[in-house]
Amino acid sequence: MTDQDGIVFLFDVDNTLLDNDRVTDDLRRHLVDQFGKKSAERYWVLFEALRAELGYTDYLGALQRYRLGLMNDPSLLRMSSFLLEYPFVERLYPGALEVLDKTGRHGTTVILSDGDAVFQPRKVERSGLWDAVGGRVLIYIHKERMMDAVMERYPARHYVMVDDKLRILAAMKKRMGARLLTVFPRQGHYAHDLKTVRLLPPADITVEHIGDLLEVDLPARLRAPGAEETTREGTS
């Protein structure tokens, strides 16, 4: 269990520690190469429909539905291997592991991600993130609604949440107030959706890249008077 007086650092995975947009781009190219553009487009229609249904991305679930229209194509059987054996470690953002190491010297690091029960854990494991946080991995559906469960499992005085989705940071901040320091790395397509971002309250700290946190003293921000007030890093 975590020291009640300590800090728990919570890290999202996709487009926070790992460039998931590049993973998706690689999958898009693979589908077109293997099955043609029209058939590949069908997969992404199913993918988006399943995401709307479940509330998280489910690559393998979409593949199961995709398979129904291609039962006689044996090459489809290798599609799951492409996903499960993908070299995720090569898609870690520069400085990601170093940030986990640095924050781990000041508190407890935890992966807090949304996702399915098969592919997402596989991604965390093969990227090296699982070992980097000592196996402290939580994967939920709508993690912003699970903060009571997170705090029960990892009790602490203060929490830091690092996530590329400002919507999730805002929801967590509303729930936890000054007890939570929110960090917004402006990486990936969600972070650059300005139409959505402008409608949300800013994070406590904003950086351009996850590696920029190597230059930010997060524990000091939590100790500082008025730490609950919004501050900005890496922005003008």
Full DSSP string of 43-66: HHHHHHHHHHHHSS--HHHHHHHH
How many structural domains comprise the chain? 2
Tell me if 2 is assigned to some domain.
Answer: no
pLDDT of residue 181: 96
> Looking at 88, 120, 138, which one is the last position of a domain?
88
Cα separation, 204 vs 197, whole angstroms:
14
Same domain for 62 and 114: no
User: Which pLDDT belongs to residue 214?
Assistant: 97
Give pTM, 2 decimals: 0.89
Does one domain contain both 15 and 126? Answer: yes
| 217 and 112 belong to one structural domain | yes
Identify the pLDDT of residue 72. 62
Structure token digits, residue 37: 């553009």
Going from the first residue of the chain to its last (236 residues), give the mean pLDDT of each consecutive group of 10, the final group possibly shorter.
Answer: 76 97 94 88 92 89 82 69 92 98 96 94 97 97 95 95 96 94 94 87 96 94 60 41
Residues 118 and 201 in one domain: yes
- Quickly list DSSP for 170-194: HHHHHHHGGGEEEEEE--HHHHT-H
| Domain at 107, CATH number | 3.40.50.1000
